[in-house]
Amino acid sequence: MKIFSKGNKRRAGFTLIELMIVVIVVGILAAAAIPIYSRVMDRARASEGKALLGTIRTHYLAETAEQIPVVYASLADWGIDTSKNRWWIVDPDDFTGTWAGTTFTITGAAGTDIEGIILAIDCDTGLFTETYP
């Protein structure tokens, strides 16, 4: 038979010091993760813009291969829908250009994190340029 006394009780749980250490460690990890997350998001936004420009260049090259002189159409005529773009505005939608050296430009949408950033592609060379405010 076991005899229980008041002195044998153990308390289960964490001390206040242990909890404070955990909170501090989590805070340090969060402080380190936020800038990394921000850079990843910036790269994702730039990738969306470059993908859009790549699509425009592909359609441009297909159009120029089929007909000379080039008949410029709107992006909608090529099946490129920019209405659902979250970050980038195509400027202009009804574009004009010349046979040699046509450049398409997209601008970061107003009120977003990329406002004022301009990406452009030279459709003849495939060269991307980036301009920051």
Q: Following CA atoms 38, 44, 46, 49 in sequence, which dihedral angle do they give, to the nearest 10 degrees?
A: -150
In a domain, 5, yes or no: no
In a domain, 8, yes or no: no
In a domain, 4, yes or no: no
In a domain, 1, yes or no: no
Q: What pLDDT digit, counting tens, does each position of 1-15 carry?
A: 555 556 556 677 889
Q: What pLDDT digit, counting tens, does each position of 51-104 carry?
A: 887 887 787 777 777 766 555 556 666 677 777 777 776 654 444 444 446 777
- Kind and range of the H or E element at 73? none
What is the spatial order of strands in the sheet that 118-122 belongs to? 88-91, 103-108, 118-122, 128-131
| Residue 44 belongs to domain spanning | 14-131
Do residues 115 and 108 make contact, with C-beta atoms less than 8 angstroms apart? yes
Residue indicated by tokens 């000379």: 68
Count of structural domains, the chain: 1
Q: Please give the C-alpha separations between residue 21 and each of 2, 122, 125, in angstroms, as whole numbers.
A: 39, 55, 56
Query: Which pLDDT does position 112 carry in this prediction?
Result: 75
In a domain, 7, yes or no: no
- Whole-model pTM: value is 0.57
